[in-house]
Amino acid sequence: MTHTARKRFGQNFLRDHSIIDAIIRAINPQPDDIVVEIGPGLGALTQPLSGCLKHLSVIEIDRDIIEYLKNQPFADKLTIYSGDVLNFDFAQIGGIKKVVGNLPYNISTPLLFHLTKYANEISEMHFMLQKEVVERMCAAPNNKHYGRLSVALQYFFAMEEIIAVPSAAFDPAPKVDSAVVRMVSQVGRIGVASNFEHFSHLLTASFAMRRKTIHNNLKGLADDDDLLSVAINPTWRAENITPEQFVALSNYLVAKN
């Protein structure tokens, strides 16, 4: 089949076999692993993965691609879920899962947030993403890439960039550089928020205006005494505050109110 890549589905197909091999080695699939691939496309990762696994679940939105996959020799290993991964209930696949994929970049941030809901039933994830997004995910405090995405994901996962991928590795080539990130689920690694909604809201408010001090961004939510009680200097910006301190501040405010 000749498939014309669809921009609206973020279709950039991997064609560099050394990169594909490196990703498969990083995933290190074992026959009995419960693996879910997001966006299998024309099977660049699906084929080698299915060679290592007894079974593989894939989620794909493009119906033409689904028809193509059904006709591949490895199709008997697959359960194909047709639809938008942003609405996909990962809990319907039982057991502790490994999630992988060369993701559609246009939905990467909402997709990462969607996956946090299932962090307790995911052991690890390997994703190809825009390099700039991977830098934001993995950033530490006092780094210009550090922001709400970093803290919100680091709450659930230990993360590292493991493979840098040039755009020439894809067909068609995206306009941006890419990278593969490993995300290992470690809920509780930076503490446990007693009220997760409050914690999320606090992060959004703290990073709302990056140039403003935390004192200004949190007006009405926390006063200077609250900040000082968890060792946050009110003159700092959100980028100077560690993930652990955000959890501690949220828990302090929840307990106080």
> Is residue 221 a contact partner of residue 197, using CB atoms and an 8 Å limit?
no
Residue nearest to ligand SAM (CB): 39
Q: Pick the closer one to ligand SAM by CB: 111 or 218.
A: 111
CB of 139 to ligand SAM, least distance (A): 23
Q: Is the peptide bond before 172 cis (omega within 30 degrees of 0)?
A: yes
Phi, psi dihedral angles at 182 (to 5 degrees): -105, 130
Chain residues that interact with ligand SAM, rule: CB under 6 A: 9-14, 39-42, 44-45, 59-62, 65, 84-86, 102, 104, 107
The first and second tokens of residue 256, run together, are 């106080």
**Burial (0-12, 13-18, 19+ Cβ within 10 Å), 247:** buried
The first and second tokens of residue 223, run together, are 């006063």
Phi, psi dihedral angles at 254 (to 5 degrees): -65, -45
Q: Pick the closer one to ligand SAM by CB: 104 or 147.
A: 104
CB of 74 to ligand SAM, least distance (A): 14
Q: Pick the closer one to ligand SAM by CB: 41 or 243.
A: 41
Distance CA 14, CA 81 (A): 21
CB of 107 to ligand SAM, least distance (A): 5
CB of 197 to ligand SAM, least distance (A): 25
CB of 214 to ligand SAM, least distance (A): 35
- Give 232's strand partners: none
Q: Pick the closer one to ligand SAM by CB: 68 or 155.
A: 68
Q: Pick the closer one to ligand SAM by CB: 48 or 243.
A: 48
Q: Which helix (H) or strand (E) holds 181?
A: strand 178-185
